[in-house]
Amino acid sequence: MTETLLTLTLAALIASVMIGFHRLIVGPTALDRILAFDAIVICAVGLVAVLSRTWETADYLELILIIASLGFFTTVAFVYYYQHTQGPIEEREETR
């Protein structure tokens, strides 16, 4: 039973990563691409956690922390860069 659930979880996470990559490539706006990147990082953390559980080892738990931290800081950096190059969101909405 546990093996089946782990397999289904891995399949769902891999499908989510593929959907995230599609949105990362096709995304109509830069904000969609940033959100897709963040979703991919979250799914990668989930994949490492499930694989760690499947292989019954705790050696990869540090990797989860590293991936999550890098993903968070990269997302913050993307949003900071986007906000400073495009201007505040309120000003962009007023010009429409």
Taking only the tens place, the pLDDT of each residue in 43-64 is: 999 999 999 999 999 989 999 9
Query: Domains in the chain, start-ordered, CATH in brackets?
Result: 2-94 (1.10.287)
The phi and psi torsions of 39 (rounded to 5 degrees) equal -65, -40
Q: How many Cα atoms occupy the beta-carbon half-sphere of 67 within 13 Å?
A: 18
Contacts of 54 by beta carbon, 8 Å cutoff, 6+ apart = 6, 10
pLDDT band, residue 2 (cuts 50/70/90): confident
The model carries a pTM of: 0.83
Q: How far apart (Å, rounded) are the C-alpha atoms in residues 77 and 18?
A: 23
Nearest to 67 by CA among 79, 80, 91, 51: 51
Which two structure tokens, joined as six digits, stand for 33? 């691409």
- Taking only the tens place, the pLDDT of each residue in 59-96 is 899 999 999 999 999 999 999 999 888 866 655 555 55
